Amino acid sequence: MRIARFTTGEDPVYGLVDGAGEKIAEITGDPLYTRIELTGATHLVEDVRLLAPVIPRSKVIGIGKNYAEHAKEMGGEAPTSPLMFLIPNTAVVGPGDPVVIPGFTQEVSYEGELAVVIGRLAKDVPVDQALSTVFGYTVANDVTARDLQRGDGQWSRAKGLDTFCPLGPWIETSLDPAGCRIRTTLDGEVVQDGPTSDMVHGVAELIAHASQAFTLLPGDVILTGTPAGVGQVVAGQRVEVEIDQIGTLSNPFVAAE
């Protein structure tokens, strides 16, 4: 089941996206908290504005260096336990929204990733029960200001700038997180192409590890790391991240005014 958050010019609503990704059947309420019921209204996807499928009420948890080849290209090795960092929810934007590059960073990178949306409160969850906490999965671009990352010595500002966490186009509730492929293009050129099975720490392990440190709440998002091929993006370019069983997240990059 694919669940989208969208607007037709009024307040945001949710809907179920058909298999072709062409139509949305509107539903009542927020599916994270209420039973899914159709309103009877339907829309063409091309006639609505898709929004970030979830705005985390609490937190976005990022995972660094979770693909061995990416860790190598960043000049290191994959950590023996998941490397976590937090991203504020003010960084989240939706499909088609511009990623705004501030004037105080000169080196911004794309990072295509699978994102996990938590569906229920979870604390100290064992690995073998971790996937039961998942509401669904979406596509993410963990945009990073590399110069700030190096200069600050930690990652909060580099990865948490406004608009630096695009999510979308919708949430897929039924997929095998180890059976997907992430494909990122920069102005149409493929720059990342790798299977999620290459994760050093799988989704269940990431959820269990995160829940030891933080209470996970419905709507929290866990970014699961990026495959090799990260690189710089500048204003005027467009990045598209496609995950075969979900869809494509597309965002233009612009300079701050």
Write out pLDDT tens, residues 187-212.
999 999 999 999 999 999 999 999 99
pLDDT at position 81: 92
Q: Which pLDDT does position 217 carry in this prediction?
A: 97
User: What is the value of pTM for the model shown?
Assistant: 0.96
CATH class for the domain made up of 60-255: alpha beta
Q: Could you read off the pLDDT of 124-180 as tens digits, one per residue?
A: 999 999 999 999 999 999 999 999 999 998 999 999 999 999 999 999 999 999 999
CATH architecture of 2-50: Roll (2.30)
Q: Cβ-count burial of 238 within 10 angstroms (0-12 exposed, 13-18 middle, 19+ buried)? A: middle
Mean of the per-residue pLDDT values of the chain? 96
Ranges of CATH 2.30.30.370 domains, the chain? 2-50
pLDDT band with cut points at 50, 70 and 90 for residue 79 = confident
Pinpoint the residues of the chain covered by CATH 3.90.850.10: 60-255
Confidence class for position 37, pLDDT limits 50, 70, 90: very high
